[in-house]
Amino acid sequence: MSEISTYPLSAAIIVKNEAHNIQRCLESIRWIEDIVVFDTGSTDETVDLCQKFGCRVFEGEWKGFGPAKQFAVSQTKYDWVFVIDADEVASPELSETIRTVIMSPQAHGYRIRRLSYYLGKQIRHSGWNRDYTLRLFHKAHGFFNDKLVHEFVQIPSGKIEKIESPLYHFTYPDVNTHIRKIMRYTDLAAESAIQQGSRATLAGAFFRGIFKFLKMYLFQAGFLDGEEGFILSSVSSFGVFMKYVKIARRSQQKTI
């Protein structure tokens, strides 16, 4: 790497076929000396690109988002870890803030303000404008749960603060990509829900989907995001509908 960091900080990333995203992500954190990448079966150039950036790459089977991210964290060298996704970019302001914070930490973990782009446009409403995600934490106090999907960092006893410097999230470049991810995520979410004893009905799935659209587009002012806000609200409501359809179908199969 061109710049060797003297900061006691590691970065952790999980990837699979992220060649179209990973270089932009790694460029934004190249000041971090220790970058751990956990690859779960890429068939594109993802691993080669990560190795060119000097990342330490581990490869293994997919066991869910929570276990994958915790594995990556467990391989890092330093106590403080910054977790970033392949489709995210640390802003220069965020990089500077992180460097300052870890030299004199006032908390055990930090929630970072995330600004998201959908179909190439920054989404300023639709519920995405209040997105603070816990991505910087001390390993002695924080860890990822074992959820298959919608994983998050847990800090059972410790102080958590916020960082306002932005983390940029470049979500879905087109609707097809969004729908493909929804189909994958809803499979995982339904499986997790069934394991926890959840049940659903088709009527419930329909009304949950409708409510999701109304919440995002009307109550969270998605209409102010223009055409992209309407598409985002619609596709997101479809995702909720599909999740509960799958729960309903799988719960019925288990009772037969």
Q: How confident is the model over 153-175, as pLDDT tens digits? A: 999 989 999 999 999 999 999 99
What pLDDT shows up at residue 25?
A: 98
Confidence category of residue 254, pLDDT binned at 50, 70, 90: low
d(CA 185, CA 157): 30
d(CA 209, CA 39): 33
When pLDDT is averaged across residues 174-188 and rounded to a whole number, the result is: 95
- Whole-angstrom Cα Rg for the chain: 19
**Which run of H or of E encompasses 73?**
helix 65-74
What pLDDT shows up at residue 101?
A: 95
When pLDDT is averaged across residues 185-192 and rounded to a whole number, the result is: 92
When pLDDT is averaged across residues 226-232 and rounded to a whole number, the result is: 98
CA neighbor of 118 nearest in space, from 109, 127, 110: 127
CA neighbor of 164 nearest in space, from 102, 114, 90: 114
What pLDDT shows up at residue 97?
A: 98
* Whether 128 contacts 122, CB under 8 Å: no
Q: Is the pLDDT of residue 209 over 70?
A: yes
CA atoms lying within 13 Å on the CB side of residue 88: 24
Residues of the chain with CATH 3.90.550.10: 9-170
Characterise 146 by phi-psi region: left (phi > 0), alpha (psi -120 to 50), beta (else): alpha
Q: Is the pLDDT of residue 4 over 50?
A: no
Q: 42-97: per-residue pLDDT in tens?
A: 999 999 999 999 999 999 999 999 999 999 999 999 999 999 999 999 999 999 99
What pTM did the predictor assign? 0.91
Q: Is the pLDDT of residue 5 over 60?
A: no
What pLDDT shows up at residue 1?
A: 34
Phi, psi (5° rounding) for residue 165? -60, 135
Give percent of the chain with pLDDT exceeding 90. Answer: 89
Q: Which CATH number fits domain 9-170: 1.20.140.10, 3.30.70.2740, 2.40.100.10, 3.90.550.10?
A: 3.90.550.10
What pLDDT shows up at residue 7?
A: 74
Q: 117-156: per-residue pLDDT in tens?
A: 999 999 999 999 999 999 999 999 999 999 999 899 999 9
Contacts of 45 (CB under 8 A, 6+ apart): 19
Mean pLDDT score across all residues of the chain: 94
What pLDDT shows up at residue 255?
A: 53
